[in-house]
Amino acid sequence: MADLATRPPLLHLARSRLRLRPGQTGVVIAGLVLLVAVVGSLLAPLVWPLDQSAVALDQTRLAPSWTHLAGTDDLGRDVAHRAVYGLRVSLLVGAVAALVATVLGGVVGGIAGMLGGRVDRLLMRMVDTIAAMPHLLLGIFIVAMLRPSLGAVIASVGLTHWLSTARIVRSELLSLRTRPFVDAAISGGAGRFRVLTRHLLPHVLPRLALATTLMIPHAVWHETALSFLGLGLPPHLASLGNMINDGQGSLLTGAWWASLAPGAVIVVVTLAIAVLAARWRDRLDPRVRAELHL
């Protein structure tokens, strides 16, 4: 009880309410960052509307100041303001693309894992073949076939990132299928559908949800990369990749801040998601769980 008295009461309260232990501060910070990022990008159009096509040629390349927190770019646009809208796009693309990839990977991996045999071999060779191609290149092909738009970017990221999910789901199902509790269920009269929904999916779903979460930062980077290459959203729309790309030119004239804010936003937000997902993964792993006393 001694340390109870010496601890600052507010910190103690926060820790006990959140069931926090020392060392979990990173998780809390990551959670707050993500909360601010999500709430901020959701509320942005209401509290801080942006005219995407507006330029102010009398205010180009202003250094960061109190009026322009992250400076202005070479068209006089406020970098901080546009970064908020860029984050909106990135989070949307990241989340939707990760979801598309999960559903696709879940279905393919599910079919392969449940049916096994020839179907499994065929599907998995297909996965191997697609995986053999560089996925950024594949993504570029997909965007090039469609018109540059939000949908095209989502399709490009979603269609190139389902492979690992398919492999995870397949291998989980293959190993679960042979477990004695599945034998016991069959012997007890359960049909294929019952075994799948009652005994297999509930074991796979947490891993699948985790894989999706881990994929969001990756999908965000991918969107940024496509935009940076000029294959993402139309150039006048704020996206983190577009902004970093635009900022490149300003960099040579000494306006280093034009790329800094969008770059920093991407690093901080994806790091926050990754930290939370890693924590979640640890909770799922019984061995790590025992070590952490969860």
Partner 1 sequence: MTSPEHLLADEVTVGYGRQVVLDGVTVRVGRDETVGLRGPSGCGKSTLVRVLALLHRPDHGQVSIDGTPVHGVRYAVPVDLRTRVAVLFQSPRAAADPRLSLDDLIAEPLRAVRTPEATVRERVAELADLVGLTADLRGRRPHAVSDGQLQRACLARALVHRPDYLLCDEATAMLDASTQAHVAAVIRDYQRTQRAGVLVITHDQTLLDHWSDRIVDLAGAARART
Which residues are within 8 A (CB) of 11 and not within 5 positions of it... i.e. 6 or more apart? none
> Min. distance of Cβ 192 from partner 1 in angstroms?
5
What is residue 78's three-state secondary structure? strand
The residue among 28 and 115 lying less far from partner 1, judged by its C-beta, is: 115
> Min. distance of Cβ 180 from partner 1 in angstroms?
4
Shortest CA distance to 81 belongs to which of 258, 251, 256? 258
What is residue 66's three-state secondary structure? coil
- Rounded CA-CA distance 245/263 in Å is 10
The residue among 252 and 290 lying less far from partner 1, judged by its C-beta, is: 290
> Min. distance of Cβ 207 from partner 1 in angstroms?
14
Question: Which residues bind to partner 1, rule: CB under 8 A?
Answer: 179-181, 183-192, 194, 198-199, 202-203
The residue among 130 and 186 lying less far from partner 1, judged by its C-beta, is: 186
The residue among 38 and 185 lying less far from partner 1, judged by its C-beta, is: 185
Please list the residues that pair with 78 across neighbouring strands.
72
The residue among 203 and 283 lying less far from partner 1, judged by its C-beta, is: 203
DSSP string, 139-200: HHHHHHHS-SSHHHHHHHHHHHS-HHHHHHHHHHHHHHHTSHHHHHHHHTT--HHHIIIIII
- Rounded CA-CA distance 235/245 in Å is 10
> Min. distance of Cβ 183 from partner 1 in angstroms?
5
> Min. distance of Cβ 205 from partner 1 in angstroms?
11
What is residue 18's three-state secondary structure? coil
- Rounded CA-CA distance 192/173 in Å is 13
> Min. distance of Cβ 170 from partner 1 in angstroms?
20
The residue among 180 and 254 lying less far from partner 1, judged by its C-beta, is: 180
